[in-house]
């Protein structure tokens, strides 16, 4: 029986050869079992036992992710780098490695350098010959299959985009998550979501008619448990975004949730709030979170009672704000004048001083 790269197990050696099965699907609704079982039968025909077979299964895109981001490829390389007894990698088809030509050739060179055989079942091919080298025939076949893999994915993406454009032209859902307040029927047309549409109506009504701020609305929604998995900060920005969405007044694709008058009033309110200057500034500590305790290395916070910067845990260095802030402020002004301010204006100020 052949040693090493031909994918067989040789008895009587101190180290038994091992095989890796690499299975991959690109989406969660696809299953890996059938792919892995088909390859597993072939691996066992070549003499490998369950103890000498490493199965790597992953659900991830081979076109969106780079080689460094692919968990399956990273696991395969980790096994190969740490276990010299691995001598072959089995695939159901070449596209299970990747659908990008550049990535496929990188992986090919990685395996050739370590004399690791690559066996693909559909269509059948072996990367290395009996001498552990890639023949001209294998190089041509690999290049051809890698081109076909990338071309197939390109065609699929174009077909998918055409389908989305067609659905969008018909006013149908064209992929992704429907906007908040809407859902889709069995024909992929947008309809009102019973609960979320009412929340949108409520947000606009309370913001425009009741003159509640977005933070007050956020707090009330959180207290009622309507968005348990969303943080208050994220919900606040969601509300701000929803208040800006003109689709809620309805168009050929989306049913109406609020009136156009309500939407326009909301925009006036939002613009007025954005133009208003802040009435108060609660943070009086210029260097909050920017200075650190020398001993603990922890950031220092502003302590209002003593007007000082104190170590986070409350025991350690303590610096009066009135001593530290002016020094940093004067230094910042000097740096601004020197590197950011208009040079002519900087020279004029220097002469005056």
Using one digit for the tens of pLDDT, what is the confidence trace for 74-85? 888 899 999 999
pLDDT of residue 243: 95
Give the confidence band of 222 by pLDDT, cuts at 50, 70, 90: very high
pLDDT surpassing 80 at residue 331? yes
**Max CA-CA distance within the chain?**
92
pLDDT surpassing 70 at residue 21? yes
Give the confidence band of 132 by pLDDT, cuts at 50, 70, 90: confident
Helix or strand holding residue 21 (H, E)? strand 18-25
pLDDT of residue 122: 82
In angstroms, the CA 117 to CA 133 distance is 9
With beta carbons less than 8 A apart as the criterion, state whether 239 and 218 touch: yes
pLDDT of residue 264: 94
Which of 4-8, 28-32, 211-215 reaches the highest mean pLDDT?
A: 211-215
Start-end of H helices in 209-342: 214-223, 232-243, 260-275, 321-339
In angstroms, the CA 36 to CA 188 distance is 34
Using DSSP, how many helices (H) and how many strands (E) does the chain show?
10, 10
Q: What percent of the chain has pLDDT over 70?
A: 77
The more confidently predicted of residues 247 and 294 is 247
Using one digit for the tens of pLDDT, what is the confidence trace for 260-310? 999 999 999 888 876 555 555 566 777 777 778 777 777 777 776 677 877
Of 8-22, 90-104, 181-195, 281-295, the one with minimum mean pLDDT is 8-22
Distances (CA, A) of 194 to 179, 182, 225, 260: 13, 8, 17, 21
């Amino acid at each position: 029986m052949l040693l090493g790269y031909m994918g067989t197990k040789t008895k009587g050696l101190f180290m038994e050869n091992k095989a890796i099965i690499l299975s991959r699907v690109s989406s969660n609704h696809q299953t890996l079992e059938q792919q892995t079982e088909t390859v597993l039968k072939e691996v066992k025909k070549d003499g490998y036992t369950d103890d000498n077979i490493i199965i790597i299964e992953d659900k991830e895109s081979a076109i969106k992710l780079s080689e460094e981001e692919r968990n399956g490829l990273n696991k395969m390389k980790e096994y190969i780098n740490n276990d010299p007894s691995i001598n072959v990698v089995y695939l159901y088809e070449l596209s299970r490695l990747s659908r990008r030509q550049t990535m496929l050739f990188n992986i090919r060179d990685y395996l050739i350098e370590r004399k690791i055989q690559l066996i693909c079942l559909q269509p059948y091919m072996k990367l290395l010959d009996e001498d552990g080298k890639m023949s001209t025939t294998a190089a041509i076949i690999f290049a051809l299959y890698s081109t076909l893999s990338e071309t197939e994915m390109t065609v699929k993406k174009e077909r998918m985009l055409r389908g989305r454009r067609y659905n969008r032209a018909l006013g149908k859902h064209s992929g992704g998550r429907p906007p908040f307040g809407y859902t889709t029927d069995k024909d992929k047309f947008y309809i009102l979501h019973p609960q979320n549409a009412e929340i949108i109506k409520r947000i606009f009504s309370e913001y425009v008619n009741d003159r509640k701020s977005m933070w007050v609305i956020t707090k009330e929604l959180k207290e009622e448990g309507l968005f348990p998995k969303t943080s208050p900060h994220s919900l606040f920005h969601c509300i701000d975004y929803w208040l800006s969405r003109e689709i809620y007044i309805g168009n050929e694709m989306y049913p109406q949730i609020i009136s156009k008058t309500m939407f326009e009033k909301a925009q006036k309110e939002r613009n007025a709030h954005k133009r208003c200057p802040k009435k108060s500034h609660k943070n009086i500590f210029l260097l909050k979170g920017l200075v650190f305790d020398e001993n603990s290395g922890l950031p220092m916070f502003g302590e209002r009672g003593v007007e000082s910067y104190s170590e986070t845990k409350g025991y350690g260095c303590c610096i009066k704000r009135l001593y530290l802030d002016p020094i940093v402020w004067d230094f910042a002004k000097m740096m601004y004048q020197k590197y950011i301010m208009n040079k002519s204006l900087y020279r004029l100020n220097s002469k005056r001083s």
